[in-house]
Structure 1
Amino acid sequence: MRTDKKIISISAGDLSIEDLISIARHNVPIELSKEVEGKIIQARDLIDKFVDEQRVVYGITTGVGDNSKVRVSKAESRKLQKNLIRSHACGVGAPLDMELVKAVMVMMIKNLSSGYSGIRLETVQALVKLVNHNIVPKVPRDGSLGYLSYQAHISLVLLGEGEAYYKGELLKGDIALKRAGLKPISLYEKEGLSLINGTVDMTAIGAIAIYDAINVLKIADLASMVSFEALKGTNLAFDVRLGDVKPHPGLKSTIYNLNRLLSGSEIAEKFKNHRTQDALSIRAIPQVHGACKDALNYAKQVIEREMNSATDNPLIFVSEGDSVSSANCHGESVAMALDFLAISLSETANISERRIFRLVSSQYSELPPFLVENSGVNSGYMIPQYVAAALVSDNKLYSHPAVVDSIPTAAGQEDHVSMGTSASLKVLKVIANTQRVMGIELMCACQGLEFLRPLRSSTGIETVYNFLRSYIPKLEEDKVLYDDIKKVETLIKTEKVLDILENKIGQLVI
């Protein structure tokens, strides 16, 4: 995806997944709309009123978690906010990828701009400046149950603490701010709590995952049809009437994609009656890929809702003049959806590996063993199938749902947590593995086409074949293959394969 937007407004309307990608991955700057600024100011006025009245409000005039039973004076409330950031910034492990951190920052801004948090406008604007100056806090990847940790590490930099990347250099937070011409901020009542609360981390990472999963499932349809051609499949299994009598949306969209991909193919026409029916890894592509698309679309709907929800605690309702301490910061919906997405992508890789296995196995493929001449001397594509099998097996481990593994925290006050951040990180691993498996299938399937020449496939498939061959030549004899696998993986991840295809035949549907 390439955007032509010069700036993206954080407004009262919905922020899209595509907008988030534009900001986090392609560094499009952001601004707050005037309407949103007004809502932020109104909610803040109500917080100031609560403080003046010493009204009992969670996290403002009380401690947090099990400390909610402890009253906090007006004089101590601001200290509490800074203490919350410092005490909660205790993540561990390798740094989270910078585009993911940036996505979390954007979702923090969107959540805080809803007008239900009571944070000051100056504080939200400070976050906007971090995004626009491309100051990316160093955030440890591990140790979050579903909220708090990532946001705390990000917020440290607002205070001139922690660490951040700026212009390719890792700096202390205060130095990064100074080099960008910015100053640390102080936190007022409720602001520390609002900065670390909400489902923004799992939602941001989940949105990135949804975007990349759409690309993966389109590539899956493409790769499967290149394999279909190399294996002399029968396209009768893709009859549009099948979707009429089993009307799952994903099944119907997959049949549509497959027929478009095969349109005009000499190979498909020649071999349409070659077998009575193909193996299920070929014949059931509409049913399996379709189910995965249905799961993706469910997860996408959940993520889009959550992106545009108010997930702070407590929530401030300006029109009624009150606050509600609730559990909108609980990420059960997101965690469950992302676990489902991981399962669906694991299945996408699973059936792909089965096609790779058939391609390299001459007893099934009617092609030379391991897709290379003189196979006694050459191993050809024998070992890439091993790699795909290993990646698929890893995906099965990552497909264990995180959401069912809740562990009580905060002295029992938070006795059920979503584990949504774990779910979001897990699905990223599945996506990466699936992209690699797809790349291996494309490599093997294009090699299979070599043995069917001079017959030609469809316009779309031949376009992709020629594009890949500009990076990876036909395998004539054994060579080191890991670089080829990496090249195809990169072409998939950067959307170059999909762009080449869709520019030629139009967009595939999900």
Structure 2
Amino acid sequence: MPFSYGQDHLTAGKALAIARGELSTAISQETIERIEASHVTVLQIAAADSAVYGINTGFGPLCNKRIKPEETVALQRNLLLSHSVGMGEPIRTELAKLMLILKVHALCKAYSGIALYVIERICWHIDNDVIPVVPEQGSVGASGDLAPLSHLFLPLIGEGEVIYGGNRQPAASVLKTHGMEPLDLHPKAGLALINGTQFMLAHAVTIVEELQSLLSHADLIAALMVDGLLGSAMPFHPALHATRPHKGNTHVAARMAHFLAGSEINASHINCDRVQDPYSLRCAPQVHGASRHAWLHLKEIVETELNSVTDNPVVINGELIISGGSFHGQPIALPMDYACLAAHEVGSISDRRSYFSLYGISGSVPKLLVKDTGLHSGLMIVQYTGAALVSENKSLCFPASADSIPTSLGQEDHVSMGSISGRKTLRVCGNLRKILAVELFCASQALDFHRPLKSSATLEAVHAHVRGQIEHAAADRIYGEDLLKAEEIIRSGKLLEIVAEYGPEGFSGFDVDFEVF
């Protein structure tokens, strides 16, 4: 069944599936009728005498400036042109495509007064992968993501640039190639297009997917490190976590206990003299689990935002026009900052495990994870990379949503900076992937020294996959190449596919709350 814009419930997973061509879409006849009724209301207002913001008035501090009826179409075109002030590098093409998808779903709620022909043109861009070029900087995250959304919709009027066929091209030339003319925007159309949180929200959707994958990898790689460093599995016992039953903690502990179950390596040192492991090993459920809570909070907020209308003003029941502040990004800016901190903390404890692994274990795991040290530096400097990335993430953890700079001559006197929250959180997630790659490399190296003993079936399969890409390091080499391979292993998601093969039915999350869909 196709996803029905404006009618079906959208989730992060479904939005990504639409963007990747894995889920088809449609607009129902019922939705079309509601869109057309709302549009008629806007046209009636535009032809009447009463002043209504953005339909027959100027914008921002010009809200008291009346616009003549014959100028209302030009007003909307000028709005897109004047607000296209973004700077910096273009955002990822998939992010821009997500913005289009999220905007169509919001417009199809039929509260914006947009005409069907405008929505259909946006759908054409989505279906044909003609994706606008959107600069990454310029939004303050209130009054909507004005600058990025303006760039997103310049192609509708034959302006701006698009990515088509893998190439960056003028939108006008691509439209001409397809025999299409630029659109004339009706009253309020431009405002309906650029008022909204779709730039922030597209970033949040991407964070939901990327951070969930990284959290799942973190549990797995931590378990591999526990076995590699002869750590105890008792801190993951369900009876312990029943005494402090935070959902994230119990979720992570259950996963790690499962990963270690049946390990000969783990069984070999049950009666050893070590009383307790360092926090980075035994407190993984508490730290990873707390970050799971942050992720879950973001997912829940994103799901509400995905099915909301963030336009202004809105048309209620075809007659009531209300100017409000639904475009303000604070509801998603705060959770994205929370997720940013959560991603950093997972990287921080991962780096501590990598650092601890370099100490070695007398008679078992050599110092710096290479036997012949002195001549060889071993994995000493590998951990430096992780440390540098952790420190970089720390510098990115200041909450963007704690800042506000008045804009629009004071009309917009409190803004969310949610666009910055989204951009930096994605950057922290990218760094986290690299930090986990360092730990994966170190943990796999540590496990090698326990042969002929074997780990659990799950961890052996994971280790075998790593060794299929990265050889054991017996002597110094260009370790940076190994780290890039480890990062790509994580990016590919192959390890999580292996985990699913070796886990019990429904193992992918133990708890449905922690699934993206």
Q: Give the TM-score normalised by the residue count of structure 1.
A: 0.96
Distance across 1 between alignment mates of 2:150 and 2:390: 35
Give 1:45 deviation, angstroms: 1.2
Structure 1 residues 306-321: aligned runs within 5 Å = 306-318=305-317, 321=319
1:299 and 2:303 correspond: no
1:89, 1:152 within 8 Å by CA — same for their partners in 2? yes
Q: 1:73 maps to which residue? A: 68
Structure 1 residues 47-446: aligned runs within 5 Å = 47-146=42-141, 147-274=145-272, 275-318=274-317, 321-362=319-360, 367-446=365-444
Distance across 1 between alignment mates of 2:499 and 2:180: 45
2:494 pairs with 493, 496, 500, which one? Answer: 496
1:231, 1:365 within 8 Å by CA — same for their partners in 2? no
Give 1:63 deviation, angstroms: 0.8
Q: For residue 11 of structure 2, what is the amino acid of its counterpart? A: S
1:30, 1:128 within 8 Å by CA — same for their partners in 2? no
Distance across 2 between alignment mates of 1:277 and 1:26: 50
Distance across 2 between alignment mates of 1:226 and 1:420: 36
Distance across 1 between alignment mates of 2:486 and 2:30: 45
1:338, 1:423 within 8 Å by CA — same for their partners in 2? yes
Give 1:490 deviation, angstroms: 1.9
Secondary structure at the aligned position of 1:356 is classed as helix
Residue by residue, what CA displacement relative to the aligned partner does 1:329-382 show, whole Å, maximum 9, x if unpaired?
001010000000000010000000000001112379952121112111112211
Give 1:312 deviation, angstroms: 0.3
Distance across 1 between alignment mates of 2:49 and 2:477: 74
Over aligned residue pairs, what C-alpha RMSD do you find? 1.6
Give 1:136 deviation, angstroms: 1.1
Secondary structure at the aligned position of 2:449 is classed as helix
- Aligned residues between the structures: 504
Secondary structure at the aligned position of 2:414 is classed as coil
Secondary structure at the aligned position of 1:362 is classed as coil
Moved more, 140-149 or 500-509: 500-509
Distance across 2 between alignment mates of 1:181 and 1:458: 60
Distance across 2 between alignment mates of 1:419 and 1:207: 17
Secondary structure at the aligned position of 1:452 is classed as coil
Residues 27 and 83 of structure 1, relative CA distance in 2, 3 Å threshold: farther
Q: For residue 16 of structure 1, what is the amino acid of its counterpart? A: T
Give 1:278 deviation, angstroms: 0.6
Q: 1:19 maps to which residue? A: 14
Structure 1 residues 472-491: aligned runs within 5 Å = 472-491=470-489
1:359, 1:365 within 8 Å by CA — same for their partners in 2? no
Q: For residue 136 of structure 1, what is the amino acid of its counterpart? A: I
Give 1:483 deviation, angstroms: 2.2
2:38, 2:111 within 8 Å by CA — same for their partners in 1? yes
Give 1:32 deviation, angstroms: 2.2
Residues 208 and 24 of structure 1, relative CA distance in 2, 3 Å threshold: same
Q: For residue 17 of structure 2, what is the amino acid of its counterpart? A: S
Moved more, 221-230 or 362-371: 362-371
Residues 342 and 25 of structure 1, relative CA distance in 2, 3 Å threshold: farther
Residues 364 and 437 of structure 1, relative CA distance in 2, 3 Å threshold: farther
Residues 484 and 28 of structure 1, relative CA distance in 2, 3 Å threshold: farther
1:235, 1:272 within 8 Å by CA — same for their partners in 2? no
Give 1:181 deviation, angstroms: 4.2
1:44, 1:118 within 8 Å by CA — same for their partners in 2? yes
Q: 1:36 maps to which residue? A: 31
Give 1:52 deviation, angstroms: 2.3
Q: 1:508 maps to which residue? A: 509
2:458, 2:499 within 8 Å by CA — same for their partners in 1? yes
Distance across 2 between alignment mates of 1:219 and 1:179: 45
Residue by residue, what CA displacement relative to the aligned partner does 1:109-128 show, whole Å, maximum 9, x if unpaired?
11111111011011011111
Moved more, 432-441 or 500-509: 500-509
Secondary structure at the aligned position of 2:63 is classed as helix
Distance across 2 between alignment mates of 1:493 and 1:113: 34
Distance across 2 between alignment mates of 1:201 and 1:101: 8
The share of aligned pairs that are identical, in percent, is 35
- Give 5+ residue unaligned stretches, structure 1: none
Secondary structure at the aligned position of 2:231 is classed as coil
Give 1:71 deviation, angstroms: 1.1
1:233, 1:272 within 8 Å by CA — same for their partners in 2? no
Moved more, 109-118 or 19-28: 19-28
Give 1:28 deviation, angstroms: 4.8
Q: Give the TM-score normalised by the residue count of structure 2.
A: 0.95
2:337, 2:421 within 8 Å by CA — same for their partners in 1? yes
